[in-house]
Amino acid sequence: MNNSPTRRILVAIKRVVDYNVRIRVKPDASGVMLDGVKLSINPFDAIAIEEALRIKERGGADEVVIATIGPPDCQATLRNALAMGAQRALHVVADTPLEPLATARVLLKLTEREQPFLVILGKQAIDDDNNQTGQMLAALWDRPQATFASKIELTDTTAKVTREVDAGLETLDIDLPAVITTDLRLNEPRFVKLPEIMKAKTKPLTTIPLSEVGGPGTPRAKVTRTEPPPGRQRGIMVKDTSELFAELHKRGLV
């Protein structure tokens, strides 16, 4: 009998307003309008799912588990992730958004519960652009991290990660278990077909109350007002470089 432990990858995802939707601010400036708006898997998180599935398909993992934190209707997003090919999903039910540190603490509880050899997240969510949760999870878990991954190569005990930095590409060798966050050029997520969508309806999806995995924590920031960006001003035509610099100087830009 084979008693070897399951090699498991945990992928954390977030539901966000679809990137094709034009964001609108509520009339009372209390936040972004979500009613009737298409919500989808954060694009960077879809890349994380795809990479986990490719690792499994190459024989590098036995199971891919998806986790998200959000209101009850987030289950549709999890079903979409299961349709891509993941085996199980975990839904931590939270009625209000969590800050990155609170999210990382919840993911730590899920990590301790699932014992993955690898946790993969998108490098950031397109709704808040915080780019913090993966790093905080690695710190709380006390395991290595590699962010902005554009290539991942695994062995049984290590990961070689090529990451995108301002100066170009950087390669890290890290021990497993570890946390990796994904960048755009890592892969292109697969298109989900109807048969996979139907199969996903029967895959295990576990609902977990937020109170069982740490609770929301104490908020460290409060949004007092949300405003749309200012409208773009109409450009002007200049005759030559001298006129361009004169106009920039007049506006205090040089």
Q: What is the pLDDT of residues 193-210, one digit of tens each?
A: 999 999 999 999 999 999
What is the spatial distance between Cα 51 and Cα 146, in angstroms, rounded to a whole number?
14
> pTM to 2 decimals?
0.87
Rounded to whole angstroms, the Cα distance separating 116 from 154 reads 14
The number of C-alpha atoms within 13 Å of 234 and in the hemisphere containing its C-beta is 2
**In this structure, what DSSP letter does residue 19 have?**
T
Q: How many Cβ atoms sit within 10 Å of the Cβ of residue 21?
A: 13
What are the structure tokens assigned to 133, written together? Answer: 């949760």
Cα angle value 191/197/199 (rounded, 5°): 130
- Tens digit of pLDDT for each residue in 134-189? 999 999 999 999 999 999 999 999 999 999 888 889 999 999 999 999 999 999 99
115, 5 Cβ separation under 8 angstroms = yes
Residue for token pair 């199971």: 63
- Pair 45, 70: CB distance under 8 Å: no
Query: Rounded CA gap, 111 and 140, in Å?
Result: 11
Q: How many beta carbons lie within 10 A of that of residue 59, not counting itself? A: 8
Q: Which amino acid does the sequence have at 229?
A: P
Closest CA to 52 of 200, 199, 189, 193: 189
CA atoms within 13 A on the CB side of 63: 16
Position 4 scores a pLDDT of: 57
CB 87 within 8 A of CB 203: yes
Domains present along the chain, CATH in parentheses: 8-221 (3.40.50.620)
Structure confidence by residue, pLDDT tens digits, 32-66 = 888 888 889 999 999 999 999 999 999 999 999 99
> Does pLDDT of 10 surpass 90?
yes
Q: What is the DSSP annotation of 152-186?
A: EEE-SSEEEEEEEETTEEEEEEEESSEEEEE-GGG
